[in-house]
Amino acid sequence: MLSLEEAVERSLAASPLLGSEIVPLADAGGRFVASPLKAGMSLPGFDNSAMDGYAARSADLNGATTESPVELSCIGVIPAGAYPVNTVGEGTCMRVFTGSPIPRGADAVIMQEDCSSTPGDDHTVRCNDSIKPWENIRLKGEDVREGDPLITAGTRITAGTIGLLAATGHHSVEVGLRPKIGLVATGSELVEPPGELQPGEIYESNRDMLVSLLANANGLPTPYPIVPDMLEDTVTALEQAFADNDAVLTSGGVSVGDHDHVKPAIERLGGSLDFWKVAVKPGKPFVLGQVGGKPVFGMPGNPVSALVTYLLLVRPALLNMQGAAEWRLAKRPGCLVDELANKGDRRHFVRVTIDDHGLVRSVGGQHSHMLGSLAKANGLVDLPPGTRLAKGDPVNVQLIDS
Ligand code: AMP
Ligand code: MG
């Protein structure tokens, strides 16, 4: 059996980097940066006021208090967006607002709350407090300096990144292409919901579940009609899925049963195969293959196995195809409320919930067909063989990004 790490390595190696495209910033959230950018300008772009108040010389206000205020003569108003031409000299100030450029001569802004006006005199500002040099001024380049790295290749674009790019004058960004993914569910027992079930039949539940998971990995899914357990049908379905997509995800039909046709179908299409038993539970068996340079991930049909193998083995590959620098699931430290034990010989990815306080509970039934408990889970705990964890033990929870 392959170790999970080895299986992930093979999965990554089988997933070619797709190209890149330039997208508007508004559509770039969650995508991966394709080429790094340096800041073409500083932020702030000029010294400006952090407050509504008066731009003044800090030296003029030395020792000012309510009891002994200092009076300054206001020589003008600088609304945000205007550029000051006057210089603030000794004994003078200028009215400024948040974002107003700082006029020459001034080295601080006194908040308007610390000032009062003189009745009948619009030009005199009474300052009731002193200020330190550069107080309430946002200095040019204190946030981002021109030439600093702005974004690095492979990072995921967040709302903050988008704000930063827009603030430095960008309206678009180059990102890795979204992989087109064909979804093929195999099984003669499967019925498309909400069709009528005949005895022995079940509803097909993997394709929609995978569509939802793929949304978090920028995948562009195309679900294909359910494929009965017949070699010819499997070959036809896979051929179409490869023609339309960058990668194919199949579910079911990868065991060694008489009705498991995914592997022979890949071979019939001239593809190569790597069949694994990965030492994880749930999860074995799993097929990695490729047809014409495009990867195919043959996941087990059991819904829990399909979800867990998708997260552990397929998601990393799909992120890798987009140039992502990080493909591991996010982790959160927590504390066990339930006891967890793995008496088996494979790593068990136990479905759990982790709450806002970091308390971690098993969702109950851990068998690979149990969707009732899977639906409650928001995380996985990686439990090595022979491990017994007690109530109160610390655990790292891998978050299910769905
Ligand atoms: P298989 O991997 O084809 O041997 O299927 C393993 C189990 O998962 C069987 O109980 C199947 O009925 C079930 N199964 C397979 N594919 C699906 C699917 N797409 N939706 C729901 N259950 C499935
Ligand atoms: Mg089957």
Percent of the chain with pLDDT over 90: 94
H/E element, 262: helix 262-268
Whose alpha carbon is nearest atom 8 of ligand 1?
302
Neighbouring C-alpha atoms within 13 Å toward the C-beta of 115? 28
Percent of the chain with pLDDT over 70: 100
Domain 4-18+177-321 shares a fold with domain 21-43+154-176: no
Q: How far is the CA of 303 from the centre of ligand 1 (A)?
A: 7
Q: How far is the CA of 44 from the centre of ligand 1 (A)?
A: 57
Average pLDDT of the residues in 209-228: 98
Domain boundaries, the chain: 4-18+177-321, 21-43+154-176, 48-138, 331-399
| DSSP code string of 44-85 | SSS-EESSSEEEE-GGGGTT--SSS-EEEEEEEEE-TT----
pLDDT tens-digit readout, 247-300: 999 999 998 888 899 999 999 999 999 878 899 999 888 999 999 999 999 999
Rounded Cα distance, 47 and 101, in Å: 6
366 or 95, greater pLDDT: 95
Return the SS3 of 61. Answer: helix
202 lines ligand 1 (CB under 6 A): yes
Count CB neighbours of 167 within 10 A.
Answer: 16
- Classify 331-399 by CATH class: mainly beta
pLDDT class of 70 with cuts at 50, 70, 90: very high
367 lines ligand 1 (CB under 6 A): no
**Atom number, ligand 1, closest to the C-alpha of residue 186:** 16
The reported pLDDT for the residue numbered 122 is 82
Contact status, residue 317 vs residue 295, Cβ threshold 8 Å: yes
188 lines ligand 1 (CB under 6 A): no
Asked if the model's pLDDT at residue 304 lies above 80, the reply is: yes
205 lines ligand 1 (CB under 6 A): yes
Out of 184, 202, 211, 307, mutate this one to test ligand 1's pocket (max ligand atoms within 8 Å of CB): namely: 202
H/E element, 354: strand 347-354
Q: How far is the CA of 210 from the centre of ligand 1 (A)?
A: 14
Neighbouring C-alpha atoms within 13 Å toward the C-beta of 101? 12
Rounded Cα distance, 380 and 308, in Å: 9
Q: Which CATH number fits domain 4-18+177-321: 3.40.980.10, 3.40.309.10, 3.30.1330.10, 3.20.20.140?
A: 3.40.980.10
The reported pLDDT for the residue numbered 36 is 97
Bridge partners of 174? 22
Nearest to 250 by CA among 216, 203, 204: 204
378 lines ligand 1 (CB under 6 A): no
Rounded Cα distance, 222 and 234, in Å: 16
Closest ligand, as measured to the CA of 229:
2
Closest ligand, as measured to the CA of 187:
2
Asked if the model's pLDDT at residue 39 lies above 90, the reply is: yes
How is domain 48-138 classified at the CATH fold level? Answer: Molybdopterin biosynthesis moeA protein; domain 3 (2.170.190)
306 lines ligand 1 (CB under 6 A): no
Q: How far is the CA of 253 from the centre of ligand 2 (A)?
A: 4
pLDDT tens-digit readout, 318-359: 999 999 999 999 999 999 999 999 999 999 999 999 999 999
The reported pLDDT for the residue numbered 377 is 97
**Atom number, ligand 1, closest to the C-alpha of residue 207:** 19
pLDDT tens-digit readout, 361-393: 999 988 999 999 999 999 999 999 999 999 999
The reported pLDDT for the residue numbered 60 is 98
Average pLDDT of the residues in 50-64: 98
190 lines ligand 1 (CB under 6 A): yes
The reported pLDDT for the residue numbered 231 is 97
Closest ligand, as measured to the CA of 254:
1
161 lines ligand 1 (CB under 6 A): no
Count CB neighbours of 142 within 10 A.
Answer: 12
- The dihedral region occupied by 323, where left means phi > 0, alpha psi between -120 and 50, and beta the remainder, is left
- Classify 21-43+154-176 by CATH class: alpha beta
The reported pLDDT for the residue numbered 402 is 66
